[in-house]
Amino acid sequence: MAAYSAANCCLVFLASTAVRLIFMYSPAREWFRDRIELSTPLTDWKRVEEGLSLLSHGVSPYSGDVVHESPLVLLLFHAVRSLSGNIFVVVQAFKEWTLCFEAMEMYLEDQNKGIYLCVELVFERGMPTPWLDAYLQDHLSLRLMPEYLDLVVYLLSPYAIGSCVAQSTVIFTNFSIVLSIYTAMRGNAALASFGVAMATYQSLYPMVLLSPGLLYIMMYFICVSLLLVQAKLKWQGCMKIVLLFILWLGGLLSLSYQLFNSLDFMKATYGFILSVPDLTPNIGLFWYFFTEMFEHFRPFFLWVFQLNAFFYCLPLTIKLRQNPGFLACMLVSVIAIMKSYPAFGDAGLSMALLVIWKHTFPYMRNAFLITCLLLFATFLAPIFWYLWIYAGSANANFFFAITLVYSTAQILLSSDVLFAYLRREYDLVSGIYPKVMDGEPANVVFN
C-alpha cells in the first residue's frame, strides 16, 4: 500500500510539474502575472524585473517606490536571470517533497502522542487498567493511515499552480517556512532558526514561527536526556535557537547592507509591510479599510491591524504547547489571513499544512460551507475585478465583498480545524463513546 501511494504521488508530482511548465511557457502566463490575487506589491514579478533592470544600470532598486523585494532574492535572480522561470519550478519541487516528509513526521508525532498520553493517564493519574484497554481501542479507531493527501492537495492546488506560473516570490517565503518547520521537527536548531530567519527576512510575519521551533527544540532536548525533564536543558535549547535566529537574521541584514552599502532596503521592505502605503486592491483586508478611513485615524487602526498577525501567537502557543506541529500550521494560517499584503499563495501553503490533520476532519462542523465560500471567492474574484476595472459595470464594493468572503472562509477553516483537533483530543482522553448519565447518552458541548 505504501509503495502504491508513493507511486501515485510521483505520478501526481510529474503531472503537476508538467502543468506548471506548460502554463509557464504559454501565452496564459501574462494573464497569471496580472492577477492581483496571485501577486502583491511585495511579490510581483514585474516589480522584480524593474529592480533587475535598475541593478543592470548601476542604480539602487530601492531609490524609488516600486521594488519591495528583499535584496538577496533580487541578487539571486540577477545572477541567474535567464533561468528565472525554472527556478520557481525547482524551488516549489523542493518545497513539495519537504512538505511530504514533514507530513509523515507530524502524523507519526500525533499518533505517538496518544501512547504517551495513555501512559501518563494510567501511571500518573491512577486510571484503572480496564480503562487502558478501552482507551487503546478508541485510539486505534481514531487513527488514519497517511495517504500523502497533503502533498497531492498542494501539487494540484490552483493557488500553488497559479503562484508558480505568475512567478510570485511568495514561493521562496513558503519554502523557508516549510524548511524551518521540518528541520525543527528533526531537532536541528541551526537549520530551523535559519529557516525562520530567512522567512522573516523576506516577509517579517513568519517570526512568530519561532514559537513552535522553540517548543520542538525543547522536546528534542528532553528526548535526548532519556525523558528526564531538566529545566536547564530546556532553557539551553531555547537560548540556542533564539541566539541562532538573531545571528542568522543579523547576518542576512548585514550582508544586504554590505552589498548595497545602504539601509534603504529596510524602509522599502519592512517599512512598506508595516506602514501599508500602497493601497492597490488585493485579496486581503487592509486596502479597502484604509482607503475609506480618515487620515487621523490611520495610525491607531494600523497598529490594531498589524498586531492581529502577532497577537494570536501567545494564546495559541499556550493552548497547543503539547503539539508544536499543529501550532505551526495554525500560525501559518493566521499569517495568511492577517498579513498586510496576502495572496492566494499564502493560503495554498496554509491549506496544505492543515490537510496534514485530515484525521480530525470528521469532527469539523462547517466543511461544506467553507468549501463553497472558497470556491465562490476563487472564481468570482477575477470576474468582479473585470466588471469593476474593465467593464465599468461594478464598483469597488463588489471586489471588496468577495475578499471578505475569502477571508471569512479562511477564518472559518482555521477555527474549525482547531475545534476538530481539540474535540478529537477530548475523545482520545474520554473515549469516543458518550458516557451514560441518568440512562441517557451525555452530550459534549464545546463553547
37 bridge partner residues? none
Question: Can you tell me which residue has the cell 547592507?
Answer: 257
C-alpha cell at 67: 521594488
Output phi, psi for 423, to 5 deg.
-65, -40
Could you give the CA distance from residue 419 to residue 411 in angstroms, rounded to a whole number? 12
Distance CA 219, CA 109 (A): 12
Q: What is the mean pLDDT of the chain?
A: 80
Residue by residue, pLDDT tens for the chain (447 residues) are 444 456 666 777 777 788 888 888 888 888 898 899 999 999 998 898 898 888 888 888 888 888 898 999 888 888 776 565 567 777 766 666 666 655 655 655 555 555 445 545 444 545 444 444 545 554 544 444 445 566 666 677 888 888 888 888 898 898 889 888 888 888 788 888 999 999 999 999 999 999 988 888 777 665 554 444 455 556 666 778 889 999 999 999 999 999 888 888 999 999 999 999 988 899 988 999 998 888 889 999 999 999 988 999 999 999 998 888 899 999 999 999 999 999 998 998 888 888 888 878 888 888 899 999 999 999 999 999 999 998 888 888 999 999 999 999 999 999 999 999 988 887 776 666 556 566 666 666 665
User: What gap in Å lies between CA 148 and CA 104, rounded to an integer?
Assistant: 8
State the sign of the Cα–Cα–Cα–Cα dihedral 349, 351, 354, 356: negative
- Per-residue pLDDT tens over the stretch 351-405: 888 888 887 888 888 889 999 999 999 999 999 999 999 888 888 899 999 999 9
Specify which residues 436 forms β-bridges with.
Answer: 441
**DSSP secondary structure of 309-349:** HHHTHHHHHHHTTT-HHHHHHHHHHHHHHHSSS--HHHHHH
Q: Three-class SS of residue 365?
A: coil
